[in-house]
Amino acid sequence: CPSPSELRPSNGTRLCALLYADNSPYYDQCCAGTALEVPPGTDMPYMPHGWAGRASSLVVGTRCELTVWSRRAKEGKSRRFSA
């Protein structure tokens, strides 16, 4: 997995989080597969098409916080992740 300070897409701008689709019990293989980029200031009450219940690994950048909810439209239980 990239370190929190290394979160940058191919165009070089800063990212606040990367969510990955593939999971593995081995740490060096857990950040694989399709990745969902979360830029700073993003507010997504609904996951993009094909991502609901799919994210299995995540990395949150420095000076960022990612809040996720158990139900759509920011309903249900929430959990916050940081670097």
Residue 8 belongs to some domain of the structure: no
pTM over 0.85, yes/no = no
Residue 46 belongs to some domain of the structure: yes
Label the pairing between strands 17-22 and 32-38: antiparallel
Q: At 20, which helix (H) or strand (E)? A: strand 17-22
The token pair at 60 is 């949150």
Q: How many domains does the chain have?
A: 1
Residue 3 belongs to some domain of the structure: no
pLDDT at 29: 73
Residue 28 belongs to some domain of the structure: yes
50-to-21, 46, 61, 80, 81 alpha-carbon distances in Å: 10, 11, 23, 22, 22
- Tens of pLDDT, residue by residue over 12-70, are 778 999 999 877 777 777 788 889 999 999 998 888 988 888 888 899 998 899 999 98
- Tens of pLDDT, residue by residue over 17-31, are 999 987 777 777 778
pLDDT at 38: 92
Alpha-carbon distance of 73 to 9, in angstroms, equals: 27
